[in-house]
Amino acid sequence: MLTEFLTGWITHQRWFAGKGRPIDDLTVDSDLELAPGLRHLIISVRQAGAHDRYQLLLGSDGDESARFKPAHIGDGYYDAAYDACLTGTLLEAMAADRDLGPLRFRHLEGVEIDTSLRSLVLGAEQSNTSLVYGGTYICKLFRRLIPGVNPELEIVTALARQGTTHIAQPYGWIETDLDGEPTTLAMTQEFLSNASDGWALALASVRDLYAALEPSASEAGGDFSGESFRLGKATAEVHHELAVAFPTEVIESPEVKRMVEDFRRRLAVAVAEVPQLGEYAHVAEEAYQRVADVAREMPVQRVHGDYHLGQVMRTPTDWVILDFEGEPGQPLAERRALSSPLRDVAGMLRSFDYAARHLLADHPDAEELRPRAVEWAELNRASFLAGYSAGGGHLRAEDAVLLRALELDKAAYEVVYESRNRPAWLPIPMAAFQLDR
Amino acid sequence: MSQLPEPIPNTFDEEKPRDPYWFKHAVFYEVLIRGFADSNGDGTGDIRGLIQKLDYLQWLGVDCLWLLPLYESPLRDGGYDIADFMKILPEFGDLGDFVKLVDEAHKRGMRVIADLVMNHTSDQHPWFQASRHDPEGPFGDFYVWNDNDELYKDARIIFIDTESSNWTYDPVRGQYYWHRFFSHQPDLNYENPDVQDAMLEVLRFWLDLGIDGFRMDAIPYLFEQEGTNCENLPKTHEYLKRIRAEVDRLYPDRVLLAEANQWPADVVEYFGDPASGGDECHMAFHFPLMPRIFMAVRRESRYPISEIMAQTPKIPEHCQWGIFLRNHDELTLEMVTDDERDYMYSEYAKDPRMRANVGIRRRLAPLLENDRNQIELFTALLLSLPGSPVLYYGDEIGMGDNIWLGDRDGVRTPMQWSPDRNAGFSDCDPGRLYLPVIMDPIYGYQALNVEAQQKSAGSLLHWTKRMIEIRKRHPVFGLGEYTELNSSNPSVLAFVRELGDDRMLCVNNLSRFPQPVELDLRRFEGSVPVETMGGVPFPPVGELPYLLTLPGHGFYWFTLPPASQEA
């Protein structure tokens, strides 16, 4: 009975990964009462050979009238993530380090959790549902379950134990064993209640520059370079903390050459898919060759992995870095792999290019404004790098070659992505190959 | 002195009862006597002229006038070089005029405070003359003398444009004297108990004449101590406590306003002991806030304001900040970093003539390129951020400045009352004016004046008056808690002021472009926000984020009444 309702309901959920394909079978793997009227389910969905597992908070005795409509499952059942009367149970269990059946609720040693706060679902995301408790905590409920400890939980708890300031303080988590592996079900962090992401801040600056009478990125009122510098500094500090908290290695020149081969392979794939990139492929080829020519030892460590302006938040006092999840869509082992910290630096440099240019996409004065975009990007890239060095980041003159190659590798990926999804934005990554940097 | 009138009796009526904490919700108006109105046609404003304009100030909604120094002075520093603490500058009138001013203001429910320079005197003051000529006499120790200029090397030089040392040699006495400001302004020696008593005597003299308080100029510098920067020393605080005790004992509803251009964390010291609700100054200026309001709007980012508000400590219960956008001094940039100062210069003072010392000498309207939307946004911020707002004369009509005048005179030109000769300020020959009136095509008095704006319902003057009315209807602006709200949009500054059930939601768009914002108002669920300018009810606050859209440089003030019971 319940499984029938769930089958009808799950296909309409944003986080459901198997949209558009028929469901062969839906079973409840685990069903646990957390509190009266609140059950925790892990369900298996089988679709043409694919097997995905999802978790669900199932409410049954709440008021399922108007307020819960989007969460309505059927027969009195609803998605209890939306029921603030029930979600307090999660905070209480984490605060008390409770074990409920196979579920383990934990809190970070030394922190206090205020269990009186009521939750609100904050927008829906692809892979998780976020509950904001008061204005204080945000609890990410992972919907589709992948065996293993979530890399972000692993990183922020390790950094918090070292006293790092540029992260959102973790408070607690929920885990269980899946296929014999400890697996993160949810994690609770400080909610940055008065923060906005770097992308929005950067765009405010760019918009101001476009509208200025006397355009000059450093003189326009919306000058962002001070923020870029501070962000660079925060990035270097977090890289340093990551190197202290997790293993580091030095890879030898044969491995560096293998990395260059990967760059080349991805470039070839991109050129095959987006032929107009071919005209500029030599720019990347030359940049990659330079890395191969000078290949020598390269220090690697845990990194952010998917670093851009949308992953950093400006609070009233500082920059905070979020979502240490690694590259999205990759297997867990790859998301946790060691890499050069310059990969993050390159990601942010690309992000500055995007911020500078993305408003040009259908701008009537795009031609006229392009030099301003270039100037804005150059200024903020330089400020970010200066801040990164000032914060102790390893950035020597000889690293420029590697950094350039990492940037072009990222841009090649972007070319493919934009040509598939947002053709209007294709000129943004294409420009990376045309600039003489 | 025997011819002086008796002290002013209590003339506050039922509607304006005496209230010891009146300053916490008052609107202040800084007026330059010299520049406001000239009653006798000598080209210089005077006290009688000001008295004639009190009806205007009452109409505008002003609660308290702040007068710049009106004492006997050689006027080498705009009157901050006082040559006799107990005499009025003859151009301004006499003590009889002053008593009448206070009396007439009180009749209208307004108060009067005046600048008092505690730290130093003019070198023309009889105390200094006696001190230099007779080192052994009763005034020999009234100033800080030394045989060389080696002491207190850690004290910075404030007027870097004109001074190279804090010591100047006096050939008469054959010693150096200490001065934190101009060399013609020797610092008083507060280590000498006679100086402490003499200055208390000065305070009592004016308080007995009915004055409602003082803005105490240059307060951090009263004492010196080797090995320190000679600012904010403990002895300075001890002496301030002594002054406050005297005021509390004899003059319970007067106010002491500290001018301490320091970081908020240091300035709070001037309020004194929080346990007693404050036992030094009742008020202090919040200096760093002002340049950051400018920076925030120019960068279209709320963070410059959010940061300084986050760094502003709580102040004792019975104290209040004084906040301002512009005043008679330069827009001071001492409380910003070097980078930020460069930024402010490049944004707001492109012409070097617009700069003075460590700051910018411009009025509000020209700083904002005469953009009415920005002027309104800035004024709305001034009237809604925590503290008592101080308006600068002329800014209510958007007066301009004259950067070609020396030092800080560019922002001290005659008030523009009407399109008549000399802007209605004086009927003297134009050449006799203390400073020329503004005559440029944008800010010139022919078009920009009080008379014209009073006739036009849409003028900045009427708008300002309405905003002051709204502020005064809601004591929460003066007394309420300040909480910044989470806003997902970095260009939008949103905050709630709260005093019991009186709650005001203020949302400000710092960007020149229209912006949306989603606010988490769950704490006020069920409340129906009412916009204060027009009284229009907005949709009720629900559990979901509250969406507002704002025009470029737009702002809203909403009351948040308690949710009705039946809902």
A222-241 confidence digits (pLDDT tens): 788 889 999 999 999 999 99
SS3 content of chain B, % helix, strand, coil (to 5): 30, 20, 50
The CA distances from residue A228 to A116, A348, B292, B346, in Å, are 38, 10, 19, 19
Would you call A316 and B298 a contact, using CB atoms and an 8 Å cutoff? no
Would you call A221 and B310 a contact, using CB atoms and an 8 Å cutoff? no
| Helix/strand/coil for A235 | helix
Query: Any idea which residues of B carry the catalytic annotation?
Result: 217, 259
Question: First-to-last CA distance in chain A?
Answer: 63
Nearest Cα residue in chain A from B492: A196
Q: Read off the pLDDT of each residue in A325-351 and give the average, rounded to a whole number.
A: 89
- Long-range CB pairs of B160-165 (<8 Å, 24+ gap) are B160/B357, B160/B358, B161/B356, B161/B357
Average pLDDT, rounded, for chain B: 91
Q: What is the pLDDT of residue A19?
A: 83
**Smallest Cα–Cα separation from B95: which of B210, B188, B231, B262?**
B210
Q: What is the pLDDT of residue A18?
A: 84
How many CB atoms sit inside 10 A of residue B340's CB? 16
Dihedral (CA of B473, B479, B484, B490) sign:
positive
pLDDT tens-place string over residues B146-196: 999 999 999 999 888 888 999 999 999 999 999 999 999 999 999 999 999
Q: What is the pLDDT of residue B167?
A: 96
Indicate the pLDDT class of residue A66, thresholds 50, 70 and 90: very low
pLDDT tens-place string over residues B388-402: 999 999 999 999 999
Q: Mention every residue, 6+ apart, whose C-beta is less than 8 A from residue A368.
A: none
The answer on pLDDT for B567 being more than 90 is no
Q: Which residues of A are less than 8 Å from B484 in CB distance?
A: 194, 316
DSSP at B25: S
Q: Read off the pLDDT of each residue in A351-365 and give the average, rounded to a whole number.
A: 89
pLDDT tens-place string over residues A271-315: 999 999 999 999 999 999 999 998 788 999 999 999 999 999 998
Cα dihedral angle (B123, B125, B131, B134), rounded to 10 degrees?
A: 110
Mind spelling out the 3-state secondary structure of B464-514? HHHHHHHHHHCCHHHHCEEEECCECCCCEEEEEEEECCEEEEEEEECCCCC
The answer on pLDDT for B260 being more than 90 is no
Kindly report which listed range (A58-72, A93-107, A177-191, B523-537) carries the lowest average pLDDT score: A58-72
Kindly report which listed range (A53-57, A150-154, B19-23, B537-541) carries the lowest average pLDDT score: B19-23
**Smallest Cα–Cα separation from A111: which of A192, A188, A195, A34?**
A188
**Read out DSSP for B350-364?**
-SGGGEETTEE---H
The answer on pLDDT for B106 being more than 60 is yes
CB B88 within 8 A of CB B77: no
Q: Cα–Cα distance between B108 and B56 in angstroms, integer?
A: 11
The answer on pLDDT for A94 being more than 70 is yes
Comparing CB atoms, the residue among A67, A219, A314 nearest residue B490 is A314
The answer on pLDDT for B281 being more than 90 is yes
Q: Cα–Cα distance between B45 and B433 in angstroms, integer?
A: 9
The answer on pLDDT for A220 being more than 70 is no
B85 bridge partner residues: none
Q: What is the pLDDT of residue B354?
A: 65
pLDDT tens-place string over residues A375-431: 999 999 999 999 999 999 988 888 899 999 999 999 999 999 999 988 989 999 999
Q: Which two tokens stand for residue A358?
A: 């993305």
The answer on pLDDT for B16 being more than 80 is no
**Smallest Cα–Cα separation from B128: which of B188, B75, B216?**
B188
The answer on pLDDT for B137 being more than 50 is yes
**Smallest Cα–Cα separation from A152: which of A314, A329, A335?**
A335
Q: Cα–Cα distance between B563 and B542 in angstroms, integer?
A: 11
**Read out DSSP for A30-74?**
EEEEEETTEEEEEEEEEETTEEEEEEEEEE-SS--SGGGGGGEEE
Q: What is the pLDDT of residue B188?
A: 97
Average pLDDT, rounded, for chain A: 90
Q: Mention every residue, 6+ apart, whose C-beta is less than 8 A from residue A350.
A: A308, A407, A410, A411, A414, A429, A432
Q: Which residues of B are less than 8 Å from A193 in CB distance?
A: 486, 520
Q: Cα–Cα distance between B22 and A34 in angstroms, integer?
A: 56
Q: Mention every residue, 6+ apart, whose C-beta is less than 8 A from residue A66.
A: none
B537 bridge partner residues: B530
Q: What is the pLDDT of residue B335?
A: 62
B515 bridge partner residues: B550
Q: What is the pLDDT of residue B9?
A: 45
Q: Which residues of B are less than 8 Å from A194 in CB distance?
A: 306, 484-487
Kindly report which listed range (A19-23, A85-89, A94-98) carries the lowest average pLDDT score: A19-23
Comparing CB atoms, the residue among B306, B486, B490 nearest residue A135 is B486
| Helix/strand/coil for B541 | coil
Would you call A222 and B299 a contact, using CB atoms and an 8 Å cutoff? yes
Q: Which residues of B are less than 8 Å from A316 in CB distance?
A: 303, 306-307, 309-310, 484
**Read out DSSP for B102-170?**
HHHHHHTT-EEEEEEE-SB--TTSHHHHHHHH-TTSTTTTSB-EESSS-S-TTSPPS-TTT-S-SEEEE
Indicate the pLDDT class of residue B343, thresholds 50, 70 and 90: low
Indicate the pLDDT class of residue B2, thresholds 50, 70 and 90: very low
The answer on pLDDT for B437 being more than 80 is yes
Indicate the pLDDT class of residue A317, thresholds 50, 70 and 90: confident
Q: Model ipTM?
A: 0.71
Give percent above pLDDT 90 in chain B. Answer: 77
Please enumerate residues of A whose Cβ is less than 8 A from a Cβ of B.
67, 118, 120, 132, 135, 193-196, 200-201, 204-205, 207-208, 211, 219, 221-224, 226, 314, 316-317
Q: What is the pLDDT of residue B408?
A: 79
Kindly report which listed range (A249-263, B251-265, B511-525) carries the lowest average pLDDT score: B251-265
Q: What is the pLDDT of residue A219?
A: 62
**Smallest Cα–Cα separation from A413: which of A312, A268, A258, A259?**
A268
